[in-house]
Structure 1
Amino acid sequence: MSAERLANDLEMLLSDERNAILGGKFEHLRKFTNEKARLVDEFTRGERPDAEVLAKLKCAARRNQDLLAMAVRAIRAVNGRLQAAKGQSETLNTYTLAGQRQSLGDKGRVCFERRT
């Protein structure tokens, strides 16, 4: 396969990968990883594209890497919030207008949402 064709195929693959990341279709990432490895392997065995094409591919790959890193940080943040909410007790302690402490909800009787 020619270097130009390989570069075009890799560029399209990186674009598809970006769309999958933005769409939250993380189950498709393994397929992209395997295909990228195959194309890069073909690059190393054949003629290389010019520096401009390589720079463009590097930029697209870096963009996808940054998107994935942001997605991982977001998932970890959500997981942390879920764990914090899960670890809370079943009652909510508040104070009355007179400053007296009161508990809202008994286990299983009242349901409310906690935001952390």
Structure 2
Amino acid sequence: MADPLSSELLGYDSGARVLLVNADDFGMRPSVDLGILDALDHGIVRSTSAMTVCPGSRSALEALSRRPGTAVGVHLSLVRDRPADDWRPNAGVDRVRFSSTTRDACSCSPDGPSCSAPPG
């Protein structure tokens, strides 16, 4: 038997056409967060993905705690957009572990992880 379609998992029949609208990058910047919150409250957005390594993630997640019906996923962020971005793990840098392949391209310091593109 085939795996169920996403629409079926959401309670629709297999022939239903469903548009899923997710707002990415929640927690990245205050302006992004305001737009996402507005779209959650007044638009067609029904879910978001949180970037927990960004400085605004704490306030973003606090805002989501007042919206318990909102579906939230985790946005895996391994690199930052710009060198000036202050993105780092919420755990202390001494508690962050990298896989052997990531360790070759990344290093941790008290200022946070620093990653470069892998060779090749």
Alignment TM-score, normalising by the size of structure 1: 0.26
Q: Which has the higher helix share?
A: 1
Q: Which has the higher strand share?
A: 2
